Amino acid sequence: MFWGVFDGHSGWTTSATLRESLISYVARELNDTYKAAKSTAPDPKAIDLAIKTGFNRLDHEIVYRSVEKVFKASSKAVAAELLQPALSGSCALLSFYDSKSKLLRVACTGDSRAVLGRRSVSGKWMATALSEDQTGSNPREVARMRKEHPGEDNVIRHGRVLGGLEPSRAFGDAVYKWSREVAGKLRQSFFGRNPSPLLKTPPYVTAEPIITTTKVEPDKGDFLVLATDGLWEMLTNEEVVGLVGHAWSKIFGSHGKPLPVEHTRDDGPGGQKTPIRLQQWGIDPEAKDRFTVKDKNVATHLVRNALGGTNDEQVCALLTLPAPFSRRYRDDLTVQVIFFGNGEQTGEVTLNLEATAEQDAPKAKL
């Protein structure tokens, strides 16, 4: 089973391409890997390699194969359509769950985040990060890029790749991947902008994901939250897990009581941002009446509490701000919550029908 979120930037076309194609690219590689293993389970490293190959092949199609097609194009209009997914960019967070082995793999390219919620022996929930925010502020990513581009002091500048792009891994974003020669030919023949004067040894950005593997324990109530960075700019890992546990168990009231979650010193993999919007909005993170439970859809419940929770006026204000002005106050928000059942049957996906709108029904509203 696959679940994923795709967070686009500088346009929507790259994320749309990932939505349509990434799972099929990865599934094709996994199919070949499982077939080669025959009766035995594939080596874990082979599975990880298959996922990485699927990511890299799709990005190669987006960034480099598009250029080959463009030079055969008959018009600038055709060229523009072919190049759009390469010129914009997108992060990708894809999870692959084997319901038989109970192994959950999370492949992350960019700064979306996956967090596992699990009930501890105390009855409270524990939050474990299953991915790492890959940005120019992550020391491990900075070290990797400086090693790959020795002598280039500006490879990370002000926490961004060449001073411009925040994610250090992404699909598309071809201006950080094309050579000066290719970019110049495209600009001369069709359109485009001059490469950054800091561009010396591209590519600087890769779509290859970092993969983690976790054994899911359904009997402990395990659930998975996948979300774009817009959610994590507003809520901590523990707050997100506590809010899901709060909504699920409903053992606490909606006002004045702490979330049923254990606070840990270590969030797991490094690189996670702290929620920056609370300071911007002037909200006390220790306020006891921040959160509420109003929604049957848990993802909607998380979005509501990220935007203001009990403060309905703030929620409405943040939702009604028009683009691009809204970007100053909030990022795009995409959230998925997956609960791992503890039934005897495996491989079954069950919708929360009460919280799922029919095709012609109105969408969930905040």
Helix (H, G, I), strand (E, B) or coil at 324: coil
pLDDT per residue rounded down to tens, the chain (366 residues): 999 999 999 999 999 999 999 999 999 999 999 999 877 889 999 999 999 999 999 999 999 999 999 988 878 888 889 999 999 999 999 999 999 999 999 999 999 999 999 999 888 899 999 999 999 999 999 999 999 999 999 999 999 999 999 999 999 999 999 999 999 999 888 877 788 999 999 999 999 999 999 999 999 999 999 999 999 999 999 999 999 998 876 633 444 456 666 655 454 455 566 676 666 666 666 777 889 999 989 999 999 999 999 999 999 999 998 878 888 888 889 999 999 977 655 556 666 666 666 656 665 556
Which residues fall within 8 angstroms of residue 129, CB to CB, at 6 or more apart? 113, 114, 115, 237, 267, 268, 269, 272
What spatial distance separates the first Cα and last Cα of the chain, rounded to whole Å? 29
Helix (H, G, I), strand (E, B) or coil at 197: coil
Single pTM value for the model: 0.88
Distance from C-alpha of 30 to C-alpha of 2, rounded to nearest angstrom: 12
Q: What is the pLDDT of residue 329?
A: 83
Q: Do 37 and 1 form a contact (C-beta atoms < 8 A)?
A: no
Q: What is the pLDDT of residue 193?
A: 77
Q: What is the pLDDT of residue 55?
A: 99
Backbone angles phi and psi of 143, in degrees to 5: -65, -40
E strand spans, the chain: 2-9, 89-98, 103-109, 113-119, 125-129, 156-157, 160-161, 171-172, 210-215, 223-227, 335-339
Q: What is the pLDDT of residue 171?
A: 99
Ordered by where they begin, the domains of the chain are: 2-343 (3.60.40.10)
